[in-house]
Structure 1
């Protein structure tokens, strides 16, 4: 398998994964700006890094090649021209391309070594890190006095959730238009990797681009087989984006069906993978609250029609039936987060009890704190590998959120 990206399921043996080790961007979180930066709490960086290192080591111990986002970007920016282009695009995406401080900020970044520059862009640039020329200082003085916001360049604390800015599907990927402004810049890193890194350049079709109008995020994108996807219609992924992505995917790949699953639009249920994941050929985790009291939920099945430019769309409400038909299975098992207990389910879903990362069929990585759900998984024959996530979980994401699989072995 010589493709740089090859994902035909959620459960095939994981061969290569993209991670981001959290850095100083977490230390630039303060209570005043948590909501704007999509956090509920401030992780303790030292412990978060130790937890993340242990997570990466678990993956390596199971034969997974671990790549890091900052290193790939640094390798992609191989010329001065690319460095300058990247900084200019990042400043424009940060809405810093037309201010008096822009040139000073630009030069501050370009004076850094490439890897340090990337980490600084990720961490954010504080106002007290830059000395402005006297003319700029005078012009900006009154404005700065009225605006106590501490950053010229906002931090990107959500970056360790590498699942969202881009998602691998088949031999290509979506480079995502993120829903919230706080995360919009993140997908620019992946754009430079696939355009300029020698491992990926000119080898990766793009099913959806970050410049599109409608938002879509990787936490909503699940590859169920080599022909079927599930995508959440959620707080952060729109129906319009799903239809546009599916149309291009059907035209350029072997995929024939996309199941759009409507989930509650809330911060607690921000992505499909926080409430539903695939863990074996016929087994899934699910948070019971995404279905009504009769066990129904809205599913819109988009199917490729030969000779037609747009997919056929049908409406279903029986999730088990939809999954059985799509995957050609006689039955499926839905394992409820928290064992279905309303208190345990709510608590463990908040702590990413449904956000499992399968590294092989029936083998998953989960947070150790979700002990009720983990026990239910084991009772269904799933091998559960637990990792600590007391600090990482403060960002509202689990092992699946923190990983972007690039290569898996085929299982279907």
Structure 2
């Protein structure tokens, strides 16, 4: 398989879509990796497996409608494998395995049938001290945008997923690209103040547009850089509650087609006003785990 991912919006040809089968039921509070999951475990509103299966299969149907080759992980019993974006990401023709939470290492083995189709020299494992998750890494043509956390208290945040060692490693792998980092707001307890990944507060869409949440960035200058880069007229600004509902975590099949949650009325209307076809799916149950459509997909090939 010849990988190719140079941005977030070129026509998608192949992707790994997560699975919600056999997720293992409601986790113990001590097993929750993010404050939104904790919130729903405590409230008794954690999503049911059958509802999550329905939601993710709806995405699969949309992808098939557009002729996208869809790979699925091997189902591991009682194991959450919804968020494939966490475990790896593709930049150009390189498949980069994330050094993620140790509890989730089995997930990468569950897509071994995909990895085995990639030339071995193009499968990259980051150095042990470099921690990165795919939700923090966005390829934007000549740029790579990386969400991280600069604070010395990084180890205290289970929500801080990509460190500066990973930024250094990715920069070394792609010296011909401009790497731009963003210091993200983190909270272990309040999901409305937690940008778990960069795609929880920002994402390019269409030819030249972007969705952004100002409050997700600790440094206003970094937020402003993105606004200036895309142009204020091309930016859809989301509010705190919309960030909590994961408005920026949609998924592009192409510059002309976006998969979005059906309840994102304000965003979906804006996308349509800008000439983008919106394929609406139900995804509010999966969103309770602080991840949405981009988190559930690992693009392998784009035109």
Query: What pairs up with 1:159-198 in 2 under 5 angstroms?
Result: 159-178=81-100, 180-190=101-111, 192-193=112-113, 197=116
Q: Distance in 2 between matches of 1:36 and 1:237?
A: 14
Change (3 A) 1:17 1:287: same
Q: Distance in 1 between matches of 2:269 and 2:234?
A: 15
Contact 1:194–1:201 at 8 Å: present in 2 too? no
Query: What pairs up with 1:381-400 in 2 under 5 angstroms?
Result: 381-400=275-294
1:261 to 2:155 alignment: no
Q: Distance in 2 between matches of 1:193 and 1:221?
A: 23
Contact 2:14–2:302 at 8 Å: present in 1 too? yes
Tell me the TM-score normalised to structure 2 length. 0.83
Contact 1:26–1:43 at 8 Å: present in 2 too? no
1:13 to 2:17 alignment: no
Q: Distance in 1 between matches of 2:217 and 2:14?
A: 34
Change (3 A) 1:213 1:188: farther
Question: Structure 1 stretches of 5 or more lacking a match?
Answer: 71-117, 124-155, 300-316, 325-329, 338-344
1:318 to 2:240 alignment: no
Q: Distance in 2 between matches of 1:216 and 1:397?
A: 16
Aligned pairs, number? 281
Query: What pairs up with 1:277-356 in 2 under 5 angstroms?
Result: 277-291=203-217, 296-298=220-222, 318-321=225-228, 323=229, 333-337=234-238, 345-356=239-250
Q: Distance in 2 between matches of 1:371 and 1:382?
A: 14
**Which of 253, 272, 280 is the aligned partner of 1:378?**
272
Q: Distance in 2 between matches of 1:36 and 1:171?
A: 30
1 or 2 for the larger relative contact order (CA 8 Å, sep ≥6)? 2
> How many Å apart are 1:204 and its aligned residue?
2.2
Tell me the TM-score normalised to structure 1 length. 0.62
- Alignment partner of 2:84: what SS? coil
Contact 2:185–2:217 at 8 Å: present in 1 too? no
Deviations 1:3-35 (A, max 9, x none): 4311111111111110122122242x2454452
Question: Structure 2 stretches of 5 or more lacking a match?
Answer: 41-45, 150-159
Deviations 1:192-250 (A, max 9, x none): 4466x2x22426242x42x521211100111111x321111142111221112211222
Larger gyration radius, structure 1 or structure 2:
1
Q: Distance in 1 between matches of 2:130 and 2:121?
A: 25
